[in-house]
Every structure is written in C-alpha cells, then in structure tokens.
C-alpha cells in the first residue's frame, strides 16, 4: 500500500505540474476581444495569472489546518528551534514578494515563447539555487556538482538557441520572431534569479524556525494573493483603468476572464492543479526525499513537450531534444539519481570527494520549484 501511494504521488506530481503549464499557455492562446476583426486580442493578463496561482497555493492551507487538528506536525525533538507562529508568519510575505515578481515574469515570457522551451529553460533554476546557496548560505558544492551544473547551463543554452527557428504559429498570436523569443528567455532567466532569492529567504527562515512545508506554501499563497490583488487594485486606480491593454487594468482583466468560458474553466483547472501539485510535492519530500521529488519533476518537462507536440503548438526540433537531454542528464547527476563510477571520472573531479559528503540537494528540505 505504501509503495502504491508513493507511485500515486509521483504520477500526480507529473500530471498536475504538466496541466499547470499547458493550461497557462492554453489561456494565452484564447481570444477575448475583437475575435472576428482584423486585430483579435488574446488573453494576456500575467498579473491576473499570478493571482490565480497564489489562490491555488493558498488553498493548501485547508490541508495544513486539517492535518494540524489530527496530529502534531512539528518536530518536538528540536527544542532549540522554535516553531513559527502568530505574527511571525508575516515573515513569509518576503518570499511571497519574490514569488510575485518571478511568476509575473514567467507568465509574460510564456506569452512570447513555446511552452516546451519555457518549461525546459526553467530547469536552470538549480544553477542559481546552488550559486546563491554557496554565496549566502555557506553551502559547499563539489567539483562534480559544479560540472553537472555547467552541463545544465549548456543544456538551457542549447534549448534557448533551438527556438531561433520557431514559426509564427508556435509563438504568441500577438508577438513573433527572434526578438520576442530572446526577450522571453531573458525574462525567464531573471525570474529564476528571483526564484532562487525566494529559496534563500525561505531557507534563512526555516534555519531559525520550525516551518511545516505545506504551511510555507499555504501562507505564501495567502500573502501573495493579498499583495497581488493590492497591486491590481492600486495599479488600476493609478493608471490601469485608462489603458484597456494594461496588465493592471483590473476591471478589464476580470472581464477577459469571465467573458470566455475556456479562459474561466482553464483558470479553475490551473488553481486546482497548483494546489494538488504542491500537496503531491510536499508529500513526496516528506515520505521519500527532496532529491526524489526533483528527479520525478523532470518528467513533467517531457510531458509538457510531448503534449505540446501532440496539440500542434510546435514542431519537433532535434536541437531542442539535445538541449533537453543535456539538461536532464546534468540535473540527474547533480541530484545523485545517476551515480557515475569514479573510474570513469577524471581525477580532478574526485579530489574533493573524500569519503562521505553531503550533496547540496540533500540539504534542501523543500523543493525550490513549486509551480
């Protein structure tokens, strides 16, 4: 029963994560205004999409409160590490702000580039997390891990370069060409920096307080919802209401949302999938390990790519396959899912591997990518 439950969690993680990315791109492809005219307007509401993501994360609090009533969730064996409670939950507003910036940038980027390239480039988050962990948290990264990170960066670069040949049908309905692709890739890279910063802030808080991972997600969702809605509201009051195409025109954003049933239903699917994705992910981390979660999550990228090909959103490119292979291989080696025998490695990569050593991924309590 236990093994079947783990399999269920892994399959659920891959499917719900894939649904999230695919339905977000599906929303971007929906016409909301002037659909029969010469200049149809497609759903392009990155801030509203950020809001719906946080609402999905916030619903995880229902699971947290339910578990809290049934059993104690904190580790009583760590008396020197006080539990976070009361107003201290306000600290989680800090990583939520990083999350808002990162998610909005990702939503903007998804409008500009194919969903598979978007999903693959996001795999580069592990590089920034490792770099920031060394700089700000004092973690140690072995030479083998640095090499695997270099392979990941190379893979991301190849994937980005493979998009040079995308057709107009594969990019946004409103923006085409190489400039749009380059801007989209740059936005993703900037978003990854904010995501890595979010991770560092979370680690700093969790190093000093006992925080249940599911509550971390839920309260960040709560603060993210409040802050993002505030941004929409004040942005609309200040200037958004005068510009129909503004991302902070709140009334127009909700009109676009409710005027097209496909957009509305996909929003519901996105929020449900995010909530389930976080539940499956934190459950895998708790019952197996963060390494297993990160490894299983690489299958999500493959699912998104295959689904995108099947739906005709993009065409197959061998260079993209090469980049994806490098990215996955580097990730699996970094995670320790693939163990390369020492005899096949140059001595220079083994000099700092003296006996037992902790991989960076093994020191991570919570998966860095939650959406």
**What stretch of H or E contains 62?**
helix 60-70
pLDDT range class, residue 70, cuts 50, 70, 90: low
Q: Give strand pairing partners of 210.
A: 83
Placement of tokens 């989680």 in the chain: 92
pTM: 0.84
In this predicted structure, which of 35-44, 173-182, 208-217 has the lowest mean pLDDT? Answer: 173-182
**What stretch of H or E contains 41?**
strand 41-42
Q: 183-222 pLDDT, tens per residue?
A: 999 999 999 999 888 888 887 887 788 877 788 889 989 9
DSSP 325-354: HHHHHHHHHHHTSS---GGGS-GGGTTT--
**What stretch of H or E contains 31?**
strand 31-33
CA 264, distance to chain mean position in Å, is: 22
DSSP 189-228: HHHHHHHHHHHHHHHHHHHHSB--HHHHHHHHHHHHHHHH
- Determine how many CB atoms are found less than 10 A away from the CB of residue 173: 17
């Amino acid at each position: 029963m236990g093994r079947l439950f783990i399999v269920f969690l892994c399959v659920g993680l891959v499917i719900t994560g894939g649904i999230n990315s695919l339905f977000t791109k599906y929303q971007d492809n929906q016409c909301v205004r002037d659909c029969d005219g010469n200049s149809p307007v497609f759903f392009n509401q990155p801030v509203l999409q950020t809001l719906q993501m946080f609402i999905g994360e916030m619903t995880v609090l229902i699971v947290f409160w339910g578990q809290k009533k049934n059993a104690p969730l904190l580790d009583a064996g760590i008396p020197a590490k006080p539990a976070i409670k009361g107003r201290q939950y306000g600290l989680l507003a800090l990583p939520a702000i990083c999350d808002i910036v990162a998610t909005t940038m990702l939503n903007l980027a998804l409008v500009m580039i194919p969903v598979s390239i978007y999903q693959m480039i996001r795999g580069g988050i592990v590089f920034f997390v490792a770099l920031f962990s060394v700089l700000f948290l004092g973690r140690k990264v072995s030479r083998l891990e640095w090499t695997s990170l270099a392979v990941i960066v190379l893979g991301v670069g190849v994937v980005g370069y493979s998009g040079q040949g995308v057709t107009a049908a594969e990019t946004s309905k409103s923006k085409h060409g190489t400039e749009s692709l380059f801007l989209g890739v740059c936005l993703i890279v900037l978003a990854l920096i904010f995501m890595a910063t979010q991770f560092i802030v979370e680690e700093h808080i969790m190093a000093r307080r006992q925080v249940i991972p599911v509550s971390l997600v839920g309260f960040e969702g709560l603060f993210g919802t409040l802050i993002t809605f505030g941004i929409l509201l004040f942005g609309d009051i200040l200037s958004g209401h005068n510009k129909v195409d503004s991302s902070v025109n709140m009334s127009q954003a909700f009109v676009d949302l409710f005027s097209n049933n496909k957009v509305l239903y996909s929003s519901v699917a996105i929020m449900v999938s995010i909530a389930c994705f976080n539940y499956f992910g934190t459950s895998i981390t708790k019952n197996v390990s963060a390494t297993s979660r990160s490894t299983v999550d690489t299958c999500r990228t493959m699912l998104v790519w295959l689904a995108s090909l099947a739906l005709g959103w993009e065409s197959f490119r061998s260079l993209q396959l090469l980049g994806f292979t490098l990215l996955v291989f580097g990730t699996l080696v970094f995670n320790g899912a693939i163990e390369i025998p020492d005899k096949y490695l140059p001595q220079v990569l083994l000099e700092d591997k003296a006996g037992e050593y902790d991989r960076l991924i093994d020191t991570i309590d919570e998966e860095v990518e939650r959406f």
